[in-house]
């Protein structure tokens, strides 16, 4: 049964309604939030602001959304999703079960992120991108050893990332590019090229695959 108490914790119902729909558009949120044990608005510092989440969103059980997050309309999460602070997400985005989006990330519209994906701080994902299950992105070139400006990947419009692929920090995946399942990506991928293998080799995409995703 839908439970405001379990879902909101200390948040009041009116605050929750304003959070999702704005003060002038209060609706029955039971159609948008369909699970219990969800934490929305985790404070990470003094003065942080509650997240903003668009209409027709479904957030499933055991998911956590921090303060200072903005999410558009028609958002869908799997179970156990974590979205950290200063993350902006567009409309019509899916984030699959157990995926983690660290802080300071920008995700566009019509993006499909499958289960068990790790997206580190300072990642940019443009519109119409598909990310397969268990893909892992990184943002630290020299983990722990030296100070380094953390920089996650930039995934350009309409790119597809295969399951279980791994990316070194600060990699750019070009528009319409594809990454094969299990690839280890150590260099940028040009527009409409394919990365395949470990370490990945860069090859031209076949003509029939030179198109943007329809998500």
Query: Whose CA is closest to 111, among 133, 135, 95?
Result: 95
Q: Mind listing the domains of the chain with CATH numbers?
A: 4-209 (2.160.10.10)
pLDDT in tens, the chain (215 residues): 333 344 444 333 334 444 554 444 333 444 455 567 899 999 999 999 999 999 999 999 999 999 999 999 999 999 999 999 999 999 999 999 999 999 999 999 999 999 999 999 999 999 999 999 999 999 998 888 888 789 999 999 999 999 999 999 999 999 999 999 999 999 999 999 999 999 999 999 999 999 889 88
Residue at token pair 């953390």: 150
What does DSSP say about strands 88-89 and 70-71: parallel, antiparallel, or unpaired?
parallel
Q: Please, how many CA atoms are within 13 Å of residue 6, restricted to the half-sphere of its CB?
A: 13
DSSP at 58: B
């Amino acid at each position: 049964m839908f439970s405001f108490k379990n879902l909101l914790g200390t948040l009041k119902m009116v605050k929750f309604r304003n959070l999702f729909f704005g003060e002038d558009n209060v609706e029955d949120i039971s159609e948008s939030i369909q699970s219990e044990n969800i934490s929305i608005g985790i404070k990470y510092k003094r003065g942080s602001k509650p997240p903003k989440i668009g209409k027709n969103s479904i957030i499933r059980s055991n998911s956590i959304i921090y303060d200072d997050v903005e999410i558009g309309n028609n958002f869908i999460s799997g179970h156990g999703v974590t979205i950290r602070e200063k993350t902006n997400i567009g409309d019509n985005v899916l984030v699959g079960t157990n995926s983690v989006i660290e802080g300071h990330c920008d995700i566009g519209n019509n993006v499909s992120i499958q289960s068990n994906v790790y997206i580190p701080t300072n990642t940019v994902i443009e519109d119409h991108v598909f990310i397969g299950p268990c893909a892992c992105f990184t943002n630290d070139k020299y983990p722990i050893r030296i100070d380094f400006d953390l920089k996650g990947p930039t995934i350009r419009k309409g790119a597809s990332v295969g399951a279980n692929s791994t990316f070194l920090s600060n990699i750019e995946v070009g528009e319409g590019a594809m990454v094969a399942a299990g690839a280890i990506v150590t260099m940028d991928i040009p527009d409409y090229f394919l990365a395949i293998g470990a370490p990945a080799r860069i090859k031209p995409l076949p003509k029939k695959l030179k198109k943007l995703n329809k998500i």
